[in-house]
């Protein structure tokens, strides 16, 4: 029998009013503006854009304000918003080789054409709490220098290695349609393009944990950071009514080229293989983790045994989305009164049977 | 019309450059630009609308395309009283700004107005260029100069 449960409307309304007040916090403390979040919590905004799978810094900042800083809740709000919009189409593929680089480092080549530039980074900071930040303070203006002659041209590190055939080439663009997991459910096995889409919007913590597992031996891939670059890239779109590429503006992206060992096979000579990561904003940890997991998921293609979680594409793709994960985990707190009542009845009946059996065994033993 | 970005019509590159300028400019800058020009009344061919474009990247940076995630985009299409049509597609959700850019696109396409539009946009273009140059200078100051340190006894 299905029993509908009603009630709680007033409690829900009042809970939401209470939420609004809790969100605001102490009214004696000035309220945060969306622009303040966008400018001063920029990496958090980048994470919400990446996992919300929608590049819009103001919207991500607003979602964070509404979500009281809860990343997964903010991702939920951004994803819900995008469902209200129609899609004009797909962009021309962005050319990260033309990026206006704000940061670029390589762990494999010291002397890169274009140079290594650190940009705004936490690397090499001492990770000591800076109590001076607790007070509003003047900051020293950033240093400036004349860019060197080669600064405008930054070839990808992987292009340098590719010249000698020491590293595999990127999979060629045969013009085949590109799968989109927001339009059709994922069919396994999923191709690399679809896997990268899932990883790009996947939860940073989950993808990071999987990436770490490959380093600790669960699907080892012997990685080196060939290159990480962060910077602004032009996005273009070809509207049907115009028939040429219209520049939409620039987005900040982070790209990671991971270079991995490969001992070769019967048909392929030994060469370096690659993993690739690309994410919105400045999000190096995410791009690196994505590249490591991308490479791990290529195990089957490269003739490696598939034995670890990070190599199992159904395990990775089906569980990396924070919104899907939170939906299923958090639904457990919603009323399950009827389900539970049924379970309770069952357990009572089983216990009664158990007791009846024990009693009859005791009686038998006593009789013998 | 089949989109063919590989072979644009002559003059398309110049139109794209003006569109890029408008995309980089702020709404206030575009308002100031239009205030400097003699603009005939404009009607909407299509009401300004915010939607999505799926941003695609390439595997390895230069390989097969894949979907990175969407970007919010606002588009506008207008017709001036003298018949010229203009279009704009911009990142973000600013309908007013997209409509202003569509008007500028229509004005620019008339050869007689072209120089005037470009002159009016020059200030915003210089501001964007100066910002890019300063960002490049700040980045350049963080370039690593490696020193080779001689080790051991000679």
ipTM score for this prediction:
0.92
Which of A234, A248, A257 is nearest residue B53 as measured by Cβ atoms? Answer: A248
Report the first-to-last Cα separation within chain A, whole angstroms: 47
- Judged by CB atoms within 8 Å, which residues 273-312 of A form the interface with B? 274, 276, 278-280
What is the per-residue pLDDT across A99-157, written as a single tens digit (0 to 9) for each?
Answer: 999 999 999 988 888 889 999 999 999 999 998 888 877 889 999 999 998 888 888 88
Domain ranges of chain B: 12-141
- Please indicate if any CB of chain B lies within 8 Å of the CB of A199: no
User: How far is B153 from chain A, CA to nearest CA, in Å?
Assistant: 25
CB atoms under 10 Å from CB of B51, counted, come to 18
The closest alpha carbon to B20, from B118, B147, B114, B94, belongs to: B118
pLDDT more than 70, % of chain A? 99
- Total beta-carbon pairs less than 8 A apart between chain A and chain B: 249
* Cα separation values, A272 from A26, A116, A166, A167, A326, Å: 56, 22, 6, 4, 37
What are the mean pLDDT values of chain B's consecutive 10-residue runs (154 residues total)? 52 95 97 95 96 98 96 98 95 98 97 95 96 96 84 63
Is residue B23 less than 8 Å (CB to CB) from chain A?
Answer: yes
CB contact under 8 Å between B51 and A86, yes or no, is: yes
Hey, what's the torsion of the CAs at A125, A130, A135, A141, to 10 degrees?
-20
Place of tokens 């509003």: A136
Pairing status of strand B85-91 against strand B65-80: antiparallel
The pTM for the full model equals: 0.93
Q: Give the pLDDT score at A228.
A: 97
The per-residue pLDDT for A32 is 97
Report d(CA A255, CA A283) in Å as an integer: 9
Per-residue DSSP letter, A345:
H
Torsion of CA B138, A41, B51, A54, to 10 degrees: 90
pLDDT bucket at A5, cuts 50 / 70 / 90: low
Tokens of A278: 């690309």
Distance CA A94, CA A232 (A): 11
């Amino acid at each position: 029998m299905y029993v509908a449960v009603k009630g709680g409307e007033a409690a829900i309304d009042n809970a939401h009013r209470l939420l609004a007040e809790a969100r605001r916090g102490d009214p004696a403390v000035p309220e945060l503006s969306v622009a303040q979040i966008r400018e001063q919590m920029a990496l958090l905004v980048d994470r919400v854009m990446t996992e919300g799978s929608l590049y819009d810094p103001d919207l991500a900042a607003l979602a964070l304000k509404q979500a009281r800083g809860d990343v997964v809740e903010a991702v939920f709000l951004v994803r819900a918003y995008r469902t209200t919009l129609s899609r004009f189409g797909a962009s021309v593929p962005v050319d990260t080789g033309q990026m206006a680089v704000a940061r670029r480092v390589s762990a494999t080549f010291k002397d890169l054409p274009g140079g290594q530039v650190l940009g705004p980074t936490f690397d090499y900071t001492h990770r000591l709490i800076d109590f001076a930040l607790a007070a509003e303070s003047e900051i020293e203006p950033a240093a400036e220098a004349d860019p060197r002659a080669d600064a405008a041209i930054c070839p990808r590190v992987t292009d340098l290695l590719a010249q000698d055939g020491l590293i595999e080439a990127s999979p060629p663009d045969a013009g085949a349609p590109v799968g989109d997991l927001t339009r059709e459910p994922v069919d396994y096995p999923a191709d690399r393009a679809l896997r990268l889409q899932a990883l790009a919007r996947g939860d940073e913590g989950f993808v990071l944990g999987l990436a770490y597992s490959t380093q600790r031996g669960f699907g080892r891939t012997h990685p080196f950071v060939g290159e990480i670059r962060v910077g602004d890239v032009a996005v273009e779109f070809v509207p049907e009514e115009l028939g040429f590429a219209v520049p939409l503006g620039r987005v900040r992206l982070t790209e990671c080229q991971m270079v991995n060992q490969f001992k070769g096979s019967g048909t392929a000579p030994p060469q370096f293989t690659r993993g690739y990561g690309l994410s919105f904003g400045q999000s190096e940890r995410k791009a690196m983790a994505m590249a490591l997991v991308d490479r791990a998921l290529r195990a089957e293609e490269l003739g490696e045994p598939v034995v670890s979680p990070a190599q199992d594409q159904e395990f990775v793709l089906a569980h990396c989305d924070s919104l899907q994960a939170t939906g299923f985990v958090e639904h457990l707190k919603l009323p399950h009164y009827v389900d539970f009542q049924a379970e309770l009845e069952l357990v009572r009946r089983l216990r009664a049977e158990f007791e009846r059996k024990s009693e009859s065994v005791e009686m038998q033993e006593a009789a013998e | 019309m089949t989109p063919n970005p590989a072979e644009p019509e002559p003059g398309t590159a110049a139109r794209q450059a003006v569109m890029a300028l408008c995309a980089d400019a702020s709404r206030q800058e575009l308002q100031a630009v239009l205030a400097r020009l003699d603009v005939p009344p404009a009607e909407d061919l299509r009401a300004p609308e915010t939607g999505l474009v799926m941003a695609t990247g390439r595997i390895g940076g230069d390989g097969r395309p894949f979907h990175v995630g969407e970007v919010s985009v606002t588009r506008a299409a207008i017709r001036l009283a003298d018949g010229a049509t203009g279009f704009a597609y911009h990142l973000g959700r600013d309908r007013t700004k997209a409509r202003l850019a569509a008007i500028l696109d229509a004005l620019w396409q008339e050869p007689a107005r072209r120089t005037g539009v470009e002159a009016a946009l020059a200030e915003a273009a210089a501001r964007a260029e100066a910002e890019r140059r300063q960002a490049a200078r700040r980045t350049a100051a963080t370039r690593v100069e490696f020193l080779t340190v001689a080790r051991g006894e000679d």
